[in-house]
Chain A
Amino acid sequence: MDWKRRHVLGLADFRIEEMEFVVDTARSMEEVLTRDIKKVPALRGKTVVNLFFEASTRTRTSFEIAGKRLSADVVNFSSSTSSVTKGETLLDTAKNIEAMKPNIVILRHYASGSPHFLSRFVSCSIINAGDGANEHPSQGLLDLYTILKAKGKINGLKIAIIGDILHSRVVRSDLHSLGRMGANLWLCGPATMVPKEMERTGAKVTYDIREAVKDADVVMMLRIQLERQKTAYFPSLREYSCKYGLNRAVFSLAKEDAVIMHPGPINRGVELSDELADSAQSRILNQVESGVAIRMALLYLLAGGHDAAH
């Protein structure tokens, strides 16, 4: 297969073979990360801009390290320190950055669809690093890769995703990546946070964590977004934790070799008990590791010599 894609805006239109191609490329990248000298010259002379309009440490750092491992020049641009606070529009900010001739812009923005919008006006490649509640494609790919490494396959696995499904862009990308690869997906959380319409994606919806976790191969916990607490999606954190938190007793319903995942950051003691977060079944840090390899793969694939590249 030849990689023809110029942007990675979401996994909604990704073909299975494209996802497999990214994962295969990531496997080669992972070898680079095992060396003493963790750097290859593939993206020498390319510039990657991290354009982040929302707080992020993990994703931004992951992209930054990925770019540096490939010898790209990585520039970080975050809204709190930029002229965005002075009233500049997204398009103006992007046009200004484009004038500095980057090859790839990695965009995180609170408005769904903003990377799609930008991609129509700039000539560099765009990677969506999370847009509102829409998608987070690199997370969807790294979850796919992490599960492949843990289980050797996706097809037929029961994967339970538990938490704030409504606001989660991770879930939307995972539905595309894991769903399309044949996983048996279960979505679970309080009814206010799990829209029944999610069943149209082919996933099963339940409000009972035990039903979701029973015989699961993978249990993926989502962060309860404390900043959204004011809107009262659930009565109290304590009640949420009792009904939808994962602890040893609930997790024992899953398959014996089941693994636990979490896109981070974890609220320890809320959605996930301390004990499980640090257990041998946890693949949370493997996700972070896979993330760098997946992002290296995406940067490498997008840095090809298509016409628009500078």
Chain B
Amino acid sequence: MLDGSVSGNPQIPVAAEKGGKCAMKKASRKVILDAKGMERVLSRLTHEILEKNKGAEELVLVGIMSGGVPLSKFIREKIRAIEGMDVPAGYVDITLYRDDLSRAGYQPRLKRTEIPFSIDEKKVVLVDDVLFTGRTIRAAMDALIDFGRPKNIQLAVLVDRGHRELPIRADYVGRNVPTSRNENVDVMVQGEREEWKVILREPAPAKGE
């Protein structure tokens, strides 16, 4: 599932300059991380994960749908490059575990969950793009527990934007980005790696993580 090769060192696309121009208009867009910056941050996160766990033994990666999945894939490739081993990787959709299901106007579309290995007695690293209220992580931990009893669960996020509503913190943080509640952090990691970027947008209609 999570295969593909590590991309080279592509040049930074035009996104950074574009963001700057838009900032003149009333909805401001600021590029916090471009593709190159993201690669550096994710490399550091990988090293931290390996340092804290003293290698990749017993390690398992679980990306949270959707943004966490390409990030966990990237980290997995980095681990392979550094340690020379493949760690099991899966992904989890937290929709069925949300605490606001009956509050939304209609039911959100379900995404897929695939954890095709046992997580019993494993060190599970949850990977997500943005850490905000912490409710997504709560749901993801509930989902994981339904799959087994891991030795521990750790959390790696690309961006921590604050405003926690639950007592949850990340073990590995790519960037701390102070935000106001009406700002949006867009992590764009669905396309080509050269196009990856993180954008801070404001103002925007209030929205969940």
Interface residues of A (CB under 8 A from B): 1-4, 21, 24-25, 27-29, 31-32, 35-37, 39-42, 45-46, 70, 300-301, 303-306, 309
Q: Note all chain B residues with C-beta closer than 8 A to A305.
A: 101-106
List A contacts of B104 (CB < 8 A): 304-305
Asked if A32 contacts B112 (CB within 8 A), the reply is: no
With A31-B112, A41-B96 in contact, is A300–B107 under 8 Å at CB?
A: yes
Q: How far is the CA of A42 from the CA of B78 in the complex (A)?
A: 35
Q: Which residue of A lies closest to B111 (CB)?
A: A28
Complex contacts, B97 vs chain A, CB 8 Å: 40-42
- Complex contact A304–B146 (CB within 8 A): no
Contact A304 B110 (CB under 8 A): no
Tell me the smallest distance from the CB of B35 to a CB of chain A, in Å. Answer: 31
Chain A residues near B107: list those with CB within 8 A. 3, 300-301, 303-304
B160 within 8 A of A: no
The CA of A309 and the CA of B93, in the complex, are separated in Å by 25
CB of B109 within 8 A of CB of A42, answer no
Q: How far is the CA of A40 from the CA of B94 in the complex (A)?
A: 10
Cross-chain contact B142 with A41 (CB below 8 angstroms): yes
Closest to B100 in A: A305
Inter-subunit contact A32/B96 (CB<8 Å): yes
**Shortest beta-carbon distance, B167 to chain A, in Å?**
20
**What distance in Å separates the Cβ of B162 from its nearest Cβ neighbour in chain A?**
27
Say yes or no: is B114 at the interface (Cβ < 8 Å to chain A): yes
The interface residues of chain A lying within 8 Å CB-to-CB of B109 are: 1, 21, 24-25
B106 CB contact (under 8 Å) in A2, A29, A37, A46: A2
| Complex Cα–Cα for A27 and B109 (A) | 11
* Distance, CA A3 to CA B109, complexed state (A): 9
Across the interface, which residues of B come within 8 angstroms of A35, CB to CB?
A: 146-147
Query: Which secondary structure characterizes the binding site on chain B?
Result: loop
Measured CA separation A27–B110 after assembly (Å): 9
Residues on B with C-beta less than 8 A from A36 are: 147-148
Render B92-127 as a binary contact track against A, CB cut-off 8 A, 1 for contact. 010111100111111101111110000000000000
| B residues with CB within 8 A of A | 93, 95-98, 101-107, 109-114, 142-143, 146-148
User: Which of A29, A301, A305 gathers the greatest number of chain B CB atoms within 10 Å?
Assistant: A305
Residues of A within 8 A of B110 (CB): 24-25, 28-29, 300
Partner of B96 from the list A4, A37, A40, A306 (CB cut-off 8 Å) is A40
What residue of chain A has the Cβ atom nearest to residue B110's Cβ? A28
CA distance in complex: A31, B92 (Å): 11
Which residue on chain B has the smallest CB distance to residue A300? Answer: B107
Can you name 30 A-B pairs with beta carbons within 8 Å?
A: A4-B106, A21-B109, A28-B110, A31-B114, A32-B96, A35-B146, A35-B147, A36-B148, A37-B147, A39-B146, A40-B143, A41-B97, A41-B142, A42-B98, A42-B101, A45-B102, A300-B96, A300-B110, A301-B107, A303-B101, A303-B102, A303-B107, A304-B101, A304-B102, A304-B107, A305-B101, A305-B103, A305-B105, A305-B106, A306-B105
- Specify which chain A residues have a CB less than 8 angstroms from the CB of B112 in the assembled complex: 27-28, 31
- The docked-state distance in angstroms from the alpha carbon of A32 to that of B109 is 15
Contacts A41-B97, A306-B106 aside, 4 further interface pairs with beta carbons under 8 A come to A40-B96, A45-B102, A305-B103, A305-B105
Which residue of the partner chain B has the closest CB to A42?
A: B96
Residue in B102, B103, B112 whose Cβ sees the most chain A Cβ within 10 Å: B102
Contacts of B101 in A (CB 8 A): 42, 303-305
A107 and B86 CA atoms in complex are apart in Å by: 51
Q: Within the complex, what minimum Cβ distance (angstroms) separates A305 from chain B?
A: 5
- In the A-B complex, the 7 residue pairs with the smallest Cβ-Cβ separation, listed nearest first, are A28-B110, A40-B96, A42-B96, A304-B107, A37-B146, A305-B102, A304-B106
A61 to chain B, nearest CB (A): 22
Q: How far is the CA of A221 from the CA of B85 in the complex (A)?
A: 52
A28 and B102 form a contact (CB under 8 A) = no
Q: How far is the CB of A111 from chain B (nearest CB, A)?
A: 30
User: What CA separation (Å) do A45 and B106 show in the bound complex?
Assistant: 17
Assembled-state Cα–Cα distance A2/B93 (Å): 18
- Our pick among A4, A28, A303 for the contact of B93 (Cβ within 8 Å) is A28
